[in-house]
Amino acid sequence: MALFDSFSPAQYAGPDSTDPLAFHHYNPDDVIDGKTLRDHLRFAVAYWHSFAWEGGDPFGGRTFERPWFPQDSMAQARIKADEAFDLFQAVQAPFFCWHDADLRPEQGNHADNLATLDEITDYIGEHMQRTGVRCLWGTANLFSDRRFMSGAASNPDPAVYAVSAATVKMCMDATHKLGGQNYVLWGGREGYETLLNTDLKRELDHMGRFLNQVVEYKYKIGFSGSILVEPKPQEPTKHQYDFDVATCVGFLRKYGLEDEIKLNIEQGHAILAGHSFEHEIALAAAEGMLGSIDMNRNDYQSGWDTDQFPNNVPEVALAYYHILKAGGFTTGGTNFDAKLRRQSLDAEDLVAAHIGAMDVCARGLKAAIAMHADGGLESALQARYAEWESDSARALLAGSLDDISARVLAEDIRPAPRSGRQEQLENYVNRFV
Amino acid sequence: MALFDSFSPAQYAGPDSTDPLAFHHYNPDDVIDGKTLRDHLRFAVAYWHSFAWEGGDPFGGRTFERPWFPQDSMAQARIKADEAFDLFQAVQAPFFCWHDADLRPEQGNHADNLATLDEITDYIGEHMQRTGVRCLWGTANLFSDRRFMSGAASNPDPAVYAVSAATVKMCMDATHKLGGQNYVLWGGREGYETLLNTDLKRELDHMGRFLNQVVEYKYKIGFSGSILVEPKPQEPTKHQYDFDVATCVGFLRKYGLEDEIKLNIEQGHAILAGHSFEHEIALAAAEGMLGSIDMNRNDYQSGWDTDQFPNNVPEVALAYYHILKAGGFTTGGTNFDAKLRRQSLDAEDLVAAHIGAMDVCARGLKAAIAMHADGGLESALQARYAEWESDSARALLAGSLDDISARVLAEDIRPAPRSGRQEQLENYVNRFV
Amino acid sequence: MALFDSFSPAQYAGPDSTDPLAFHHYNPDDVIDGKTLRDHLRFAVAYWHSFAWEGGDPFGGRTFERPWFPQDSMAQARIKADEAFDLFQAVQAPFFCWHDADLRPEQGNHADNLATLDEITDYIGEHMQRTGVRCLWGTANLFSDRRFMSGAASNPDPAVYAVSAATVKMCMDATHKLGGQNYVLWGGREGYETLLNTDLKRELDHMGRFLNQVVEYKYKIGFSGSILVEPKPQEPTKHQYDFDVATCVGFLRKYGLEDEIKLNIEQGHAILAGHSFEHEIALAAAEGMLGSIDMNRNDYQSGWDTDQFPNNVPEVALAYYHILKAGGFTTGGTNFDAKLRRQSLDAEDLVAAHIGAMDVCARGLKAAIAMHADGGLESALQARYAEWESDSARALLAGSLDDISARVLAEDIRPAPRSGRQEQLENYVNRFV
Amino acid sequence: MALFDSFSPAQYAGPDSTDPLAFHHYNPDDVIDGKTLRDHLRFAVAYWHSFAWEGGDPFGGRTFERPWFPQDSMAQARIKADEAFDLFQAVQAPFFCWHDADLRPEQGNHADNLATLDEITDYIGEHMQRTGVRCLWGTANLFSDRRFMSGAASNPDPAVYAVSAATVKMCMDATHKLGGQNYVLWGGREGYETLLNTDLKRELDHMGRFLNQVVEYKYKIGFSGSILVEPKPQEPTKHQYDFDVATCVGFLRKYGLEDEIKLNIEQGHAILAGHSFEHEIALAAAEGMLGSIDMNRNDYQSGWDTDQFPNNVPEVALAYYHILKAGGFTTGGTNFDAKLRRQSLDAEDLVAAHIGAMDVCARGLKAAIAMHADGGLESALQARYAEWESDSARALLAGSLDDISARVLAEDIRPAPRSGRQEQLENYVNRFV
């Protein structure tokens, strides 16, 4: 009585179809701008939300019923893997992402964690072989177990630092084994609940050293993928050190990692930090640190991470526009770090959620490609900053304050404001989305 | 019919006094920990909010009636200065802070702006001489005039960059002339309203160059004070580049300014950015970039900058605790970047607001000094991180992921979580505030 | 050198047009579902934002240059009116909305305010006659002038209550004279800055009485339009009594006004109050109090009222869906209580902003009509609640707790959760938007 | 190996004591204003947070280790009760509060839930008898079990309505049996995740009927305590019907319950709804619906319900000031709906958290009593509204808009704004806190 094997792979049926389990916009083999939509978008399903999360929230427990619950044995872990690959195929997902703790149960000690992860990733490797589904990225869960309650690399207890390091090594090895294209670090508990018990400086230094160890190990094992960190401002902790893109960029630069580590940016985390998703993407791109994205929205009226499947095409289009401007994905992709609402109990809900999300992304991407090709935003931008291309303007940057002051006086410079044309640019965007 | 000359300097009357215009906690000459309260706190009055702001808000205009309104002539500017120094004396403020545009009206062109600023700062210099009131910091207003609507150093128009540079030079010269102890840059319009018309990378590079020009000029004129930038996440613009302390630190490091520029941190801006005030202070201190503070709160229920006088002693105490931990103020101080509510029409309101704020700060500081002297928080901190002092812990940081992994396996390391004791530490703090 | 008379009325050019000043979706004469789009949408231009607002924000003054600035004489008021009607025609707006203070300058006393309002509304009446543009609603500005700083009907000073009442009478008379279809009350300063100086109960009672006086006067003069109040949670004040729809509904019921007064709901205010726009509309509809809408969005990342033109079609579609479910507009309409960004200096910006907004609304409405006609959401709703139509379910509501308890025990009732299908419904909506 | 029996009852040791487990401000037997502090404050410990919650959060599971975990048998439930009463005595709590699901494990069917609740409340009754600890209120947990995922009284499935009604009857009976002084309803899942699947009007009507059934049953069994509902805007659901005090007041009035039901107001929920705690209390008092309080704060930087023990005396003082103005508690009290941080693992943390919270409340209450006795705020209020006591002012309320208009013209009324004195009132408050 498997859940997902009765769903044959979703097919493209065109925008006018009313079939709720067909793609209306995402035709994986469509070639636009020299690349298939599959290769533009590089969709990944998140193992944790789709298979490990049981439907609980702070005020209630498990709502889902799944054949692989309770998740307490390797036998159940294998059933979960079988189902996961059925789902990947049902929604034509080319990639998946995982934490160690999603794949098999925590064993309580590192040796057994290592052995069982090895076992289950062998099993998963066979599924990958069979189905062609690939690993976009792997990561270590350094936040669920009680031992991580006060942080992982930033823990006051060196023993936790040690176990965290060993766990990351284990997960990097597993990612490498599975041909993962990136390795991600999300510091869910790297932060604090109260400054009263926190040595900020020391914890940041430990995190900086930890990330350097990760990079050193990457080279040692010859992992050719990207190392990514994932900004988030808070939740579960009151304050997280990887607050947003700007904070992460500053942190990486401080610890000499600006050429080694890129960012995995999530829409929901952008919103929690008081930014738009496109801001975070554009800033990472401006710093040369755009790695991959988690395409899951937060509810604008909720103050916590709701991790919902994307459903607003205009927003998604702006995100992809900035990704396209930065050259598109290389090792990165579009991971749905999204979970069903806990009232969405049925297998069909999970299938439909992914199909709908892929359609939203495909529509957004197509709009972004068209807008990018049209070039209207870019030419408006060039016009707006055009005067900076003159020698006289460049001289301003090269000069000194007193030089400039003399020139302002000599030339009696009185700037004439020009319209920023925001509404006209917004109208322009609406022609495409 | 001057407003403030009838207020004789406020005196310390002790905590049990009911005199609304006496200090109940701030006795400037009290020596604690080897320094007077005056020298610990280094209070400054903000010229803009107290004298230039007229009581308007987005839905209504001027409410205050002041002898120096309308602020449209040099004669009025002199009356304003007279009144300002009366107020400084009435509240025993040792310092004040100013923008060029607060001191005299904008003239519409740089030459006249320069001449009139020179004239009014001569006049103000005489008041300083007479009263002993000093300049904590000066700054340039690069946001009110229409010419700055799209930014100053980050403006798409090089002419605005030029005028901004000339204006900052002018204000640095004036600050230097008045013996100012710091020069502050707040980039109120360095940011954007919409990414659609914004070249993020270019604007950041221009800002980076601009700040380098400021530092170069500082050395040229021999200004021995500190250069400070002031984080704020938004308002007036949708996004400001100096979002918060972490963002500014990263920015300064990127442009090679981490040893040259420090931060002026405001409680209200911390709140807008999703941080506590003490977080911003502690982070700046951890980075060695703590410069000065603006001690004005925002309303937690309002999503904009309310710039209110401080009134919550426990919050203020935590802020000063982190300042004390960092060694206290050097060139910095406690500026009240605070404005009266627009319904607080009377001269007495302004006097009382400053007196009350000084009392709140003095109570907070005394609590912080006592807490610092008691050392309870510090010893709890040392105990929590004590194991990091061992050789075995240091070896973790020096080693590699695979070394650590081997050790975890060999020693079967299983961390035992220990209580973070947050509530007990909060209780401890409540013994002092 | 009028600004807007060179713009000939915008024409419908179809979705593929690239003309930035043509309609791409709004064809006023298109008949859908038995009504023209003009009559479905009932667009109105807001006199205040488009003609009286000068581009200021809390950190800077006027940026716009308009022939009718400064707004200090009746001659200028007539120029403003001429221009306003040019703009109404340029964007084919069937309606406009106004405050007294938008139309002519405040005179400082009621007699002169009355005489000048009479004069300018005569003049405006001629423009209406000539152009066919109608008045959607009028309202009194009881917040800009200094006299209203502590509230209007809720002011501690009875003299302000008196002037407020006289002003509302004046504006109701003018609305009646101009054939206005609604009269709106927005209590921008009916609230408080601090509870410390506020008698909540008394202020609420005075507001309740004030609204009853308004209703009594409506009947007295035979005004056949609707009386509407407009919810907003805060800004300019810290707390406003008309916080949101639920608060207003409760207030109106308390003061016996639930059958007399309806609501004017704004998207931006919904967001400030922590709600979605469709929530506020749906709740007002459920209470039978849906009157009219202000279709202007806030920026989700800004904590204040940004009053931007709408630009997100999916959001707008959901709003119109709930309006359609409630039967569509009767006296109400779609007012753009939206202002240009202050950097959008040009006349063309204002024209384009309205055209773009109308297009967004037309697309949203068409999607909503199609979705409503399709009936998929409605049938899903009926299915979800179907069991409530049984006698046995109705008996639960009629019974007592002990009856029900007995039945639960006797029948051993154990509810079986069913999927809420949120993602599938969101996908369904995305078929239409 | 019980956790709490080694803690002897905390004693008052005065403000200078450094004993972390003594009261520094709360001396239960102190008589102020004719009442002991015990009777003023009426502290209650929350069974759920202190004994049933295991330390989990959305990103991690149980952190606490307690003798009564796992909570899966009646034997464990009895151990939990033994420990709970040890804690109540250790912190001298006169009251406790509970949900059915806190006291014993959910059984999966109503008959067994009923039998086991009866059994455990008998056992608890013995502890109450023995210790003198009383029940402040009981309530039904209609949110944790999977069956309530789509609401309780507002569930689309009548079977859930039925089970909810039976459960509330059961809990009201148990509360009555234990001599509870109030019965509380918190509608944690009475709301929606998405409007797309929600019939707002029907759900509100069902909730209205449900509450009427509760009131009818109260009279039937002769329960003499108060029925209270508890406002909360969101979390767990996106929107909750009992959003805030104003919404609840409107709801109760609509369904004819304004004289039957009062409110249980929580600081954290006030903050989530965009209000201050004192606002919610003052509004409930103004409506005559102030029942009881949950004195647990949220973190101002976190967008979810953090349920922390109170630690800011000035905030707490303002809350008690409004409670005193309303006459103090009758059946209500100060419940700590607060949980330890999940890193606070030790028994001592729970003891100290309650002691510290009681001290904070006692300090706040004493300040409030002194401020109330001094009468400064009240006299300022009377002065501010004094003119409303005149016949001429009362005539304004009695009259019509045209009468008032005539009078404004005849008397040429021009209001003169007066200072709101906010800063001076804030300074006044700081004399007491």
Whether residue C197 and residue D159 make contact (CB cut-off 8 A), yes or no, is no
Same domain, D111 and D247: yes
Q: Which helix (H) or strand (E) holds B340?
A: none
Enter the tokens of residue D352: 């100290």
DSSP H or E segment with residue A48: none
Helix (H, G, I), strand (E, B) or coil at A63: coil
Answer whether B149 sits within 8 Å of C299, measured CB to CB: no
What DSSP letter does each residue of A280-328 carry, written as one string? HHHHHHHTT-EEEEE--BPPTT-BS---BPP--HHHHHHHHHHHHHTT-
H-type helices in D91-157, by residue range?
Answer: 100-103, 110-131
What is the predicted pLDDT for the residue at D158? 98
pTM of the model: 0.98
In sign, the C-alpha dihedral spanning D368, D373, D374, D375 is positive
The angle that helices C200-221 and C158-177 make with each other, rounded to 10 degrees, is 30
| Cα D222 to Cα A172: distance, rounded to the nearest angstrom | 66
Set of chain D residues whose Cβ sits within 8 Å of the Cβ of C390? 158
How far, in Å, CA of A289 to CA of A181, rounded? 16
- Pair (C145, C259) in one structural domain: yes
Residues of D taking part in catalysis:
99, 102
Report d(CA C215, CA C218) in Å as an integer. 5
Q: What confidence score (pLDDT) does residue D1 get?
A: 65
What is the greatest pairwise CA distance in chain A? 84
The rounded distance, in Å, linking the Cα atoms of B269 and B229 is: 13
Is C193 near chain B, with CB under 8 Å? yes
A420 in the same domain as A274: no
Is residue B191 helix, strand or coil? strand
Asked, for residue D336, whether it belongs to a domain, the answer is yes
Give pLDDT tens digits for C140-191: 999 999 999 999 999 999 999 999 999 999 999 999 999 999 999 999 999 9
What's the CA gap between A90 and A67, in Å, rounded?
Answer: 18
Interface of A with C in 379-418 (CB under 8 A): 417-418
Chain A residues within 8 A of C339 when measuring between CB atoms: none
CA-nearest of D197, D137, D306, C417 to A61 is: C417
Taking residues C198-207, what's their average pLDDT?
98
Residue D91 lies in a domain: yes
Domain annotation covers residue B138: yes
Q: Is residue B279 domain-shared with residue B391, that is, in the same domain?
A: no
- B265/A233 Cα distance (integer angstroms): 19
Give DSSP secondary structure letters for B314-339: HHHHHHHHHHHHTT--SS--EEE---
Other CB atoms within 10 Å distance of the CB of residue D19: 12
Contact A59 D189 (CB under 8 A): yes
For residue C143, give how far its alpha carbon lies from the nearest alpha carbon of chain B (Å): 6
Say yes or no for a CB contact (<8 Å) between C429 and A311.
yes
Alpha carbons D411 and A160: distance in angstroms, whole number: 79
| CATH code for the domain of A156 | 3.20.20.150
Q: Which residues contact C394 (CB under 8 A, 6 or more apart)?
A: C388
D318, D278 contact by CB (below 8 A): yes
pLDDT above 70 covers what percent of chain D?
Answer: 100
Residue D300, pLDDT score: 95
Which chain B residues are within 8 Å of A422, Cβ to Cβ? 193-194, 196-197
Token pair recorded at residue B28: 């400037």
Q: Say if A9 falls within a structural domain.
A: no
Name the phi and psi angles at A430, rounded to 5: -65, -15
Q: Are residues A418 and A281 in the same domain?
A: no
Query: Is residue A71 a part of any domain in this protein?
Result: yes
Per the prediction, chain D carries an average pLDDT of 98
D77-93 mean pLDDT:
98
Give the end of a domain, one of D374, D391, D411: D374
- The backbone torsions φ and ψ at residue A155, rounded to the nearest 5 degrees and listed phi first, read -70, 140
Is this complex scored with an ipTM above 0.95? yes
The band of C395, judged by pLDDT with boundaries at 50, 70 and 90, is very high
State residue C370's pLDDT score.
Answer: 98
Contact by Cβ (8 Å): C244, C272: no
Cα separation, A291 vs A295, whole angstroms = 13
Between CA C177 and CA C171 the distance in angstroms is: 10
Q: Give pLDDT, residue C153.
A: 98
Tell me: do B175 and B253 sit in the same domain. yes
- The reply to whether A365 and A401 lie within a common domain is no
Taking an 8 Å cut-off on Cβ atoms, the answer to whether C420 and A343 are in contact is: yes
The question of whether A99 is a catalytic residue gets the answer: yes
Residue B226 to residue B331: CA distance in whole angstroms: 7
Q: Which residue has the tokens 């690959």?
A: A85
Residue A280 sits in the same domain as residue A403: no
Contacts with C15 (C-beta within 8 Å, 6 or more apart), sequence order: C24, C25
- Is the same domain home to C56 and C148? yes
Q: Is A420 an interface residue toward B (CB < 8 Å)? A: yes
Residue B337 included in any domain? yes
Are B348 and B207 in a shared domain?
Answer: yes
Catalytic residue among C102, C242, C244, C294: C102
Q: What is the DSSP letter of C22?
A: S
For residues D141-173, one letter each, b for 16 or more C-beta atoms within 10 angstroms of the residue's C-beta and e for the rest, the string is bbbbbbbbbbbbbbbbbbbbbbbbbbbbbbbbb
Q: Do A59 and D146 touch (CB under 8 A)?
A: no
**CA–CA distance, A181 with C210 (Å, rounded to integer):** 67
Local confidence pLDDT in tens for the 433 residues of chain B:
689 999 999 999 999 999 999 999 999 999 999 999 999 999 999 999 999 999 999 999 999 999 999 999 999 999 999 999 999 999 999 999 999 999 999 999 999 999 999 999 999 999 999 999 999 999 999 999 999 999 999 999 999 999 999 999 999 999 999 999 999 999 999 999 999 999 999 999 999 999 999 999 999 999 999 999 999 999 999 999 999 999 999 999 999 999 999 999 999 999 999 999 999 999 999 999 999 999 999 999 999 999 999 999 999 999 999 999 999 999 999 999 999 999 999 999 999 999 999 999 999 999 999 999 999 999 999 999 999 999 999 999 999 999 999 999 999 999 999 999 999 999 999 999 9
The shortest C-alpha distance from A339 to chain D (Å) reads: 13
Q: Does residue D70 sit in the same domain as residue D180?
A: yes
CA C93 to CA C99: how far, in whole Å? 18
A57 in reach of chain D (CB within 8 A): yes
Which contiguous run of DSSP H or E holds residue A97? strand A95-99
Give percent above pLDDT 90 in chain C: 100
Question: Is B399 in the same domain as B315?
Answer: no
pLDDT digits (tens, 9 = 90+) for C371-388: 999 999 999 999 999 999
- Domain final residue pick, B352, B374, B396: B374
CA proximity to D370, closest of B12, B16, B315 = B16
CA separation for the pair D353, D361 (Å, rounded): 12
- What backbone torsions phi and psi does residue C303 show, to the nearest 5 degrees? -90, 15
Q: Is residue B44 part of a domain?
A: yes
The CA distance from D257 to D219, in Å, is 14
Compute CA distances B295 → A203, B262, D428, whole Å. 28, 17, 20
Dihedral sign computed on CA atoms, order A418, A421, A422, A425:
negative
Q: Does D149 sit within 8 Å of A235, measured CB to CB?
A: no
CB within 8 Å of C266: residues ≥ 6 apart = C230, C231, C232, C293, C294, C295, C296, C337
- Cα–Cα dist B87/C176, whole Å: 52
As a whole number, mean pLDDT of residues D11-21 equals 97
Q: Do C312 and A314 touch (CB under 8 A)?
A: yes
CA distance B151 to D44: 55
Q: Residue B391: which domain range?
A: 386-430
Q: Which amino acid is at B185?
A: L
Q: Which residues of D touch A239 (CB under 8 A)?
A: 301
Q: Given a cut of 80, is residue C115 above it in pLDDT?
A: yes
- Residue A43 identity: F
Q: What is the mean pLDDT of each run of 10 residues along chain A (433 residues)?
A: 92 97 98 97 98 97 97 98 98 98 98 98 98 98 98 98 98 98 97 98 98 98 98 97 98 98 98 98 98 96 97 98 98 98 98 98 98 98 98 97 98 98 98 96
pLDDT-derived band at C1 (thresholds 50, 70, 90) equals: low
Instruction: Tell me if residue B72 is catalytic.
Output: no
Tell me if B230 sits within 8 A of B267, measured CB to CB: no
Summarised one tens digit per residue, pLDDT across range C339-363 is 999 999 999 999 999 999 999 999 9
The domain total for chain D is 2
Mean pLDDT of chain A: 98
- CA-wise closest residue to A276 among A262, A266, A289: A266
Contacts of C57 in chain B (CB under 8 A): 58, 236
Nearest CA to D39 out of D28, D50, D48, D47 is that of D28
Nearest-Cα residue of chain B relative to residue D19: B428
Dump pLDDT digits (tens) for D254-307: 999 999 999 999 999 999 999 999 999 999 999 999 999 999 999 999 999 999
D91 touches chain B (CB under 8 A): no
Residue type, D48: W
Q: Is residue B63 part of a domain?
A: yes
Chain A residues 11-50 within an 8 A CB cutoff of chain B: none
Q: Is D106 on the interface with A (CB under 8 A)?
A: no
